[in-house]
């Protein structure tokens, strides 16, 4: 599985759990922290946690374990670091406040829901 395929798989997993405004950004040419961001929003902390649980379970089945998971307890913003793919799961207000898409505005968005 390529890094791009991994990012798209994660986006689809979140979308299947009713993730809102799921986006995949290619950051690899802009930074060394990773190749892709997957960004999504949930309506409640329980929904955001369910995204993280689904991604963790399904990616583990594929042999991919996150290097770390941050923010799970509060679930305002859960970050899952898969080395080359970094997953950002937000509550709506938190996503609007941090505006990652604006901060990473030079990163091309990848069409994943084709």
pLDDT tens for the chain, residues 1 to 114: 899 999 999 999 999 999 999 999 999 989 888 999 999 999 999 999 999 999 999 999 999 999 999 999 999 999 999 999 999 999 999 999 999 888 898 999 999 886
Instruction: State pTM to two decimals.
Output: 0.94
Q: What CATH number should be reported for the domain holding residue 100? A: 3.30.460.10
Q: What angle do CA 38, 66, 98 make, to 5 degrees?
A: 40
Domain count within the chain = 1
Residue 46 lies in a domain: yes
Query: Which residue range is the domain that position 82 belongs to?
Result: 3-109
Residue 88 lies in a domain: yes
Compute how many other C-beta atoms are within 10 angstroms of the C-beta atom of residue 59: 20
Of 81, 109, 93, 113, residue with least CA distance to 41: 93
Residue 10 lies in a domain: yes
Residue 75 lies in a domain: yes
Residue 52 lies in a domain: yes
The sheet carrying 77-81 orders its strands as 68-70, 77-81, 85-91, 36-42, 20-26, 109-110
């Amino acid at each position: 599985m390529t890094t791009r395929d991994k990012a798209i798989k994660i986006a689809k997993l979140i979308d299947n759990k009713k993730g809102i405004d799921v986006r995949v950004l290619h950051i690899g040419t802009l930074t060394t922290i990773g190749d892709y961001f997957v960004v999504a929003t949930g309506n409640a902390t329980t929904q955001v946690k369910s995204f993280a649980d689904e991604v963790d379970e399904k990616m583990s089945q594929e042999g991919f374990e996150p290097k770390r998971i941050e923010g799970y307890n509060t679930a305002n913003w859960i970050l899952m670091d898969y080395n080359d793919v970094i997953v950002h799961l937000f509550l709506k207000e938190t996503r609007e406040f941090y505006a990652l898409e604006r901060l990473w505005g030079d990163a091309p968005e990848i069409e994943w829901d084709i």
